[in-house]
């Protein structure tokens, strides 16, 4: 192998016929080789990494794309790294693989990836619209144009902390939605690593074994009256009241549709038939409707019918309509936001001051109505099996799974009618709440 000074003069004068492909060695840097082709000169460095017996090849570039002087500079820089124990060829290969992986990752921005995600999410969980609401409100608005691979763990943590200031529990729900989203992105090869790895809940929730917030009778009355007198859309007020009278999960009531209602004109037969797709346990649930619930629902239907006629449009499918025309039904998180506005606005120095202070010190969420309903029915002597049936809690033994198909419809109706009578007696002042509350006539 000829040894010459590999410089630009050599490159201009060397014979570069197509058939030659001769390789030269630099007379000063013996590990620098230059292979001659008809249209180019390719430089490389041959070396053994520190402690290795295997020779490696590190490319230095091609003349005339770069000068021979630049090729020499690269060779000297690589040799300096090799003397310190580095392996330039291995580093270059790592960079190459990283770039290849980045090219495999999604070319979509986050907004486009979210659009792909929602149809898959709808097949994964019945309450997928809740996740969508959190992601749309707190993620798309901030990160829509970002590449998913550019989002860091610090970005996710900071975003959750910002949301937690406004809505502590919602920040935890957003975290769950992000975990599910980025896991899907990895499964679909849009990402290789989730930026949510190691991200903790931003808000501490109740501990294991701790009972959900339960309203006392006095708190229930004060909160009900606050809901009645607050400024909110009628659908929101009605949904919160039905929630308090049925003990259902907030999203199940928020999404109640006309198709799920039967026999509203017959109080002895009126039911809401929730399909399995809308239930947490993925089992159909039939809920008897008490007289106050029927009245509230009929008022909403009549109001919507009048609005539809005035606006010359079809009736909406859902009972509790959103103020946003594109949503049609109220969102589950809107119920939480509504209570967060109502409770702080109550007067702690008024007639019900002590009760208001308790509500403000430990503010209930919409789910508190479910715990209050279950606890209240227990106090009224409703058997545990009937309370579980009302709440759609599924028995998991062999008998319940495979043989016992009885839905306890009669028992559930007795339980809910008993709870409705209890609530009406509290609101009318016929039943004492254990606190001094001025008797007011409940608004019809």
Q: Comparing C-alpha atoms, which of 152, 142, 159 is closest to residue 191?
A: 152
As a whole number of angstroms, the distance between CA 90 and CA 341 comes to: 59
Same domain, 319 and 419: yes
DSSP string for 112-171: HHHHHHHHHHHHH-TTHHHHHHHHIIIIIHHHTTS-GGG--HHHHHHHHHHHHHH-HHHH
pLDDT at position 282 over 60: yes
Q: What is the pLDDT of residues 375-430, one digit of tens each?
A: 999 999 999 999 999 999 877 666 666 555 688 999 999 999 999 999 999 999 87
437 has pLDDT over 50: no
Which two tokens mark 409? 């419809």
Q: Is 290 helix (H, G, I), strand (E, B) or coil?
A: coil
Instruction: Read off the pTM.
Output: 0.61
Output the pLDDT for position 331. Answer: 82
> Is residue 144 one of the residues assigned to a domain?
yes
The answer on pLDDT for 332 being more than 90 is: no
Q: Are residues 269 and 171 in the same domain?
A: no
User: Which has the minimum average pLDDT: 38-47, 178-187, 197-206?
Assistant: 197-206
- Range with lowest mean pLDDT among 154-168, 319-333, 369-383: 319-333
pLDDT at 355 (0 to 100): 94
Ramachandran category for residue 312: left, alpha or beta (phi over 0 → left; psi -120 to 50 → alpha): left
24 domain-assigned? yes
**Quick one: average pLDDT of 303-309?**
88
Question: Is residue 438 pLDDT above 50, yes or no?
Answer: no
Write down the pLDDT at residue 417: 96
Is 212 part of any domain? Answer: no
Residue ranges of E strands in 178-323:
261-262, 271-274, 285-288
Sheet holding 41-47: strands in order across?
3-4, 23-26, 32-36, 41-47, 56-63
Q: What is the pLDDT of residue 293?
A: 97
Report angle CA 32, 38, 44 to the nearest 5 degrees.
15
Instruction: Tell me which DSSP letter residue 33 carries.
Output: E
Is residue 439 scored above 90 in pLDDT? no
Q: What's the helix, strand, coil split of the chain in %, to 5?
A: 55, 10, 40
Residues 274 and 373 in one domain: yes
pLDDT of 233 > 90? The answer is: no
Q: Please check whether residues 290 and 401 belong to one and the same domain.
A: yes
The CATH code of the domain that includes 67 is 3.30.160.390
Within 10 angstroms of residue 235's Cβ, the number of other Cβ atoms is 22
374 within some domain = yes
Same domain, 415 and 281: yes
Q: What is the mean pLDDT of residues 27-54?
A: 91
- Name the pLDDT band for 444 (thresholds 50, 70, 90): very low
Which of 409, 404, 372, 369 is closest to 392 using CA atoms?
A: 409
pLDDT (0 to 100) of residue 407: 83
Q: Residue 27 to residues 21, 31, 335, 435: CA-CA distances in angstroms?
A: 19, 9, 81, 100
In sequence order, the 6+-apart residues with CB closer than 8 A to the CB of 204 are none
Length of the chain as a residue count:
444
Residue 408 lies in a domain: yes
How would residue 290 be classed by pLDDT, with cut points 50, 70 and 90? Answer: very high
Strongest mean pLDDT among 16-25, 186-195, 316-325, 363-372: 363-372
Share of the chain above pLDDT 90, in %: 59
On the CB side of 166, CA atoms within 13 Å amount to 11
The DSSP H or E segment spanning 58 is strand 56-63
The answer, yes or no, to whether residue 105 has pLDDT greater than 80, is no
* 45: β partners: 32, 58
Q: Which two tokens stand for residue 240?
A: 């919160």
- Could you tell me if 280 and 418 lie in one domain? yes
pLDDT per residue as tens digits for the range 48-102: 998 888 999 999 999 999 999 999 999 999 999 999 999 999 988 888 887 776 6
Structure tokens at 233: 């859309």
> Does 89 share its domain with 114?
no
* Phi, psi of 45, rounded to the nearest 5 degrees: -115, 130
More confident site: 404 or 34: 34
Q: What is the rounded CA–CA span in Å between residue 54 and residue 153?
A: 39
The band of 106, judged by pLDDT with boundaries at 50, 70 and 90, is: low
Is residue 197 a part of any domain in this protein?
no
Terminal CA-to-CA distance of the chain, rounded, Å?
Answer: 103
Note the pLDDT of residue 140: 92
Average pLDDT on 234-263 reads 93
Instruction: Verify that 263 and 171 share a domain, yes or no.
Output: no
Classify residue 208: in a domain, yes or no: no
Q: What is the pLDDT of residue 103?
A: 60
- Same-domain pairing of 73 and 136: no
Q: Report whether pLDDT(23) > 70.
A: yes
Supply the pLDDT for residue 337: 86
The number of distinct structural domains making up the chain is 3
For the stretch 160-173, pLDDT in tens is 999 998 888 889 99
Buried b (16+ CB within 10 A) or exposed e, 163-173: bbeebebbbbb
Does residue 210 lie within any of the structural domains?
Answer: no
Q: What is the mean pLDDT of the chain?
A: 87
What pLDDT is stored for residue 19 in this prediction? 55
Residue pair 105/192 in contact (Cβ under 8 Å)? The answer is yes
Identify whether residues 99 and 160 lie together within a single domain. no
Rounded CA separation 211/120 (Å): 34
pLDDT tens readout for residues 122-138 = 988 877 888 998 999 99
The percent of residues in the chain predicted with pLDDT above 70, rounded, is 90
Distance CA 27, CA 35 (A): 15
Do 84 and 157 have their domain in common? no
CA distances from 137 to 144, 170, 403, 427 (A): 11, 11, 45, 37
CATH number at residue 305: 1.10.443
Q: What are 271's two structure tokens? A: 């039911």
Please give the Cα distance from 66 to 27 (Å, whole number): 20
Tell me which DSSP letter residue 24 carries: E
Q: Are residues 125 and 86 in the same domain?
A: no
Structural domain boundaries enclosing 130: 110-187
E strands, 223-267, in order: 261-262
């Amino acid at each position: 192998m000829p040894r010459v000074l590999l410089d630009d003069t050599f490159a201009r004068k060397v014979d570069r016929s197509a058939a030659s492909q001769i390789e030269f060695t630099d007379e000063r840097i013996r590990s620098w080789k230059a292979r001659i082709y008809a249209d180019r000169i390719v430089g490389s460095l041959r070396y053994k990494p520190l402690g290795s017996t295997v020779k490696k090849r590190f490319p230095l570039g091609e003349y005339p794309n770069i000068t021979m002087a630049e090729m020499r500079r690269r060779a000297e820089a690589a040799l300096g790294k090799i003397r310190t124990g580095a392996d330039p060829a291995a580093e270059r290969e790592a960079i190459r693989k990283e770039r290849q992986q980045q090219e495999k990752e999604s070319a979509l921005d986050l907004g486009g990836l979210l659009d792909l995600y929602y149809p898959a999410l709808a097949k994964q969980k019945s309450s997928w619209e809740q996740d969508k609401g959190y992601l749309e409100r707190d993620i798309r608005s901030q990160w829509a144009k970002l590449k998913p691979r550019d989002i860091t763990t610090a970005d996710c943590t900071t975003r959750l902390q910002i949301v937690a200031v406004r809505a502590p529990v919602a920040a935890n729900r957003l975290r769950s939605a992000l975990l599910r989203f980025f896991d899907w992105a990895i499964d679909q090869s849009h990402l290789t690593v989730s930026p949510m790895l190691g991200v903790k809940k931003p808000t501490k929730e109740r501990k294991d074994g701790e009972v959900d917030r339960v309203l006392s009778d006095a708190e229930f009355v004060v909160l009900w009256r606050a809901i009645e007198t607050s400024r909110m859309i009628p659908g929101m007020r009605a949904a919160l009241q039905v929630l308090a009278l049925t003990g259902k999960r907030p999203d199940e009531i928020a999404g109640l549709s006309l198709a799920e209602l039967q026999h509203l004109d017959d109080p002895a037969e009126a039911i809401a038939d929730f399909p399995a797709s809308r239930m947490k346990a993925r089992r159909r649930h039939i809920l008897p409707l008490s007289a106050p619930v029927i009245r509230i629902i009929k008022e909403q239907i009549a109001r919507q019918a009048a609005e539809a006629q005035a606006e010359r449009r079809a009736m909406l499918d859902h009972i509790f309509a959103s103020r946003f025309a594109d949503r049609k039904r109220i969102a589950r998180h809107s119920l939480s936001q509504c209570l967060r506005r109502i409770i702080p606005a109550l007067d702690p120095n008024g007639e019900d001051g002590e009760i208001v202070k308790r509500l403000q010190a430990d503010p209930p969420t919409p789910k508190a109505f479910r715990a209050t309903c279950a606890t209240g029915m227990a106090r009224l002597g409703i058997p545990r099996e009937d309370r579980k049936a009302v709440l759609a809690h599924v028995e998991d033994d062999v008998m319940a799974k495979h043989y016992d198909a009885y839905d306890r419809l009669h028992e559930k109706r007795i339980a809910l009618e008993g709870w409705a009578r209890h609530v009406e007696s509290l609101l009318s002042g016929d039943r004492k709440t254990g606190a001094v509350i001025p008797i007011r006539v409940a608004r019809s």
